[in-house]
Amino acid sequence: MEIKSSTTDRISPVTALFSILVLLSSGFFAVEAADTSESTDAPKTEECRAFEKDIDADLGDVLKAGCKPTLAQMSALMDNPLGNVAMLFTQFDYYKMQDPDSDETAYKGVYTGIAQFPKKLNDDWNLINRVIWTVPSMPLDQDKIDDFDADQLGNDQGGGFTGQSPDEFPKPIDLFDGRTTGLGDSYYVGLFSPSDPVDMEGGGKFVWGAGFDLGLPTAEEDILGTGKYLAGPSALGVYLGETWKVGSLLTHYWDFAGDDDRDDVNMTNLQYFVFYSLNETDSIGASPNIICNWEASDDNECSVPLGIGYSTTVQMGKVPVRFGLEFHYYVAKPDDDVSPRWNTRFYVIPAAPSALFDWMG
């Protein structure tokens, strides 16, 4: 996919700031995780060997004992989206978009970064924080949109289209002409979650959290964001079985401030996930996003994908890293609006136990 900006050849200060943040965060994870291996060259104690046999061992106790978490333990901890683990998501989505009127297709790319970290509130509750930033690459030139709006404004100021022939009317914009890439909107999701999971009959555990979300209009160009300040409720529930991990994260957004000329926002994002564990570090499944725009007309509200994929957790130096590749096909989509037909998602997630970070405890 061609990733370039048609609006500028320079990197904006905001984009540069987020790039530096990602690099520093990755290095910080590596340094912090390296601290857990100071004793790896020494013979393992009986206590460490006992911890290694318990995949559900409290990693805070493991680290306090001078032991190193196993890859299987870290992989199990990463399976729990409300667990005591800090993760840095680097996710790339590649969408095939289609205009239902012309059947013309183009490709949209989105980089999503998510810094997730828990904060212990007391013995019973944690706050799970998710800081999210996006970099979309849209198959539409922002300059052409601006030029079209300027022409239309000029015609309106001159008395509308009075006295003009139809050939002189502003022409609609080619939906798939050019490309605009840059920083998009940013989000925060906060989930209050019980420290102890719920034990389920027949085995497995259930974890849940509820809270709120915020959206900030940080997009560099209009086409890359909503232009609105957003807020709404969030909730998450997950069943963690020995082989099956099933759950969903619900976020809803309403606008409460921002550019009055932009469309109102009333949107639901339901990310559901179904994974089957092949072993302690590998699984098949997917985590697509159902998006519903409740401001759209009937039959144009929701895009619903089904997906399949593969993920594995490996040790890279001192850091456990999860890699995943998924394919999503949209079984329901808007009838009259440009919408995705399929999506390919690739992600990389380095992780570290939250017990490494004193300020999270």
- Please say whether the beta carbons of 208 and 138 come within 8 A: no
CATH number of 13-140+175-360: 2.40.160.40
Question: What was the pLDDT predicted at 72?
Answer: 92
Q: What angle do CA 268, 272, 273 make, to 5 degrees?
A: 160
Averages of pLDDT over each 10 residues, the chain, 361 residues: 38 45 48 45 75 78 85 92 93 91 87 96 95 93 69 42 33 66 96 94 93 96 93 97 96 95 94 96 97 87 95 94 97 86 96 87 71
In this structure, which amino acid lies at residue 231? A
* pLDDT for residue 50: 82
Single pTM value for the model: 0.81
Please provide the size of the chain in residues. Answer: 361
Please answer whether residues 296 and 334 qualify as being in contact, where contact means their C-beta atoms are separated by less than 8 angstroms: yes
CA pair distance 190, 115, nearest whole angstrom: 12
Cα torsion through 78, 273, 288, 189, rounded to 10: -60
